[in-house]
Homo-oligomer: A and B are copies of this chain.
Amino acid sequence: MATAPRFPRPERSAPPPVERRRPALTREAIVDAALAIVDAEGVDAVSMRRVADALGTGPASLYAHVENKDELLELVLDKVIGEVPLFDPASTLPWTELIKQYMRDGRAVFTTHKDIARAAVGRIPMGPNGLRVNDSWVGALRKAGLPPRLVGLAPDLFALYIVAVSVEEGAVATLGLSEERIGAYFDEVRAFFAGLSPQEYPNLSAMASELTDVGGEGRFEFGLDVLVRGLASLAADESAAARAPAKGHHA
């Protein structure tokens, strides 16, 4: 059997026991760790314990930097919103196209972070980035010359749409299905509608292909089209009413 070593080993300052990399416990590091979990596994995988673990601490330590889990998700959301490009004042696009482009950008940002849009449902984004994007949209609509009432109403409606669409797509992304599994699923849905009893569901069974023909991209563009056309129609009416005020009398 080996005896004790003759020479005392040099007293190396005791190597840190396991100790995961610890990039200092800050608000930012916590938000980054949470976002990394979102990107990898989706919003539901985020827990105070998982986040703490990734940072090499216990969950209680997070509460020195973050009010609670809800605030943490709000911060993660605002960080993501920070990736949304702002209105380009030099753009010469008509406002209808400009708005569509913004909405595509917003959706693209959300959907690159799995189902992060779920954290935006029913929440008004009041973080610095959320406000910045909101300000940018309001600015674009003002510059387009829309009536002030509509400038005040439209951004919320657009945001609602982007978030709702992103939640649906994010859910699919979080499942992590292959392209063909998704295609197979849509085929199943179509078959399901087509196979419904024509007595009970005369319209669904008759319109099965129209109800399922258009996939995610087309459905999103359809919504964009409806929203922008609707807003343009309202704007035309309200501008006309402003030019010829009060019940058909001329000014």
Q: Does A145 contact B (CB under 8 A)?
A: no
Give the residues in chain B near A121, CB-CB below 8 Å: 118, 121, 164, 167
Number of chain A interface residues as a range? 35 or more
Contact call B229/A153, Cβ cutoff below 8 A: no
- Taken together as a complex, chains A and B put the C-alpha atoms of A169 and B57 apart, in Å, by 38
Contact call B171/A122, Cβ cutoff below 8 A: yes
- CB within 8 Å of B: which of A80-137? 115, 118, 121-122, 124, 126, 131-132, 134-136
- Which stretch of A31-39, A60-68, A155-163 is in the interface? A155-163
Contact call B151/A210, Cβ cutoff below 8 A: yes
Contact call A153/B214, Cβ cutoff below 8 A: yes
- CB within 8 Å of B: which of A202-250? 202-204, 207, 209-214, 219, 222-223, 225-234
Give the residues in chain B near A149, CB-CB below 8 Å: 210, 213-214
Q: Which residue of B lies closest to A192 (CB)?
A: B126
Max chain B Cβ within 10 angstroms of own Cβ: one of A118, A139, A201, A226: A226
Q: Does A194 contact B (CB under 8 A)?
A: no
Residue among B126, B132, B160, B234 making CB contact with A229, cutoff 8 Å: B234
Known contacts A132-B201, A230-B226, A230-B233, A122 near B168 by CB under 8 Å: yes
From residue A185, how far is it (CB to closest CB) to chain B in Å? 11
Q: Which residue of B lies closest to A136 (CB)?
A: B203
Max chain B Cβ within 10 angstroms of own Cβ: one of A122, A136, A211: A122
- Taken together as a complex, chains A and B put the C-alpha atoms of A124 and B142 apart, in Å, by 36
Q: Which residue of B lies closest to A232 (CB)?
A: B233
Q: Which residue of B lies closest to A211 (CB)?
A: B152
Q: Give 9 A-B pairs besides A124-B189, A134-B204, A157-B223 with Cβ atoms closer than 8 angstroms.
A: A131-B201, A132-B200, A135-B201, A152-B214, A155-B211, A157-B222, A225-B230, A226-B227, A230-B231
In order of increasing CB-CB distance, the 7 nearest A-B pairs are: A152-B210, A230-B230, A226-B230, A138-B203, A229-B233, A229-B230, A139-B203
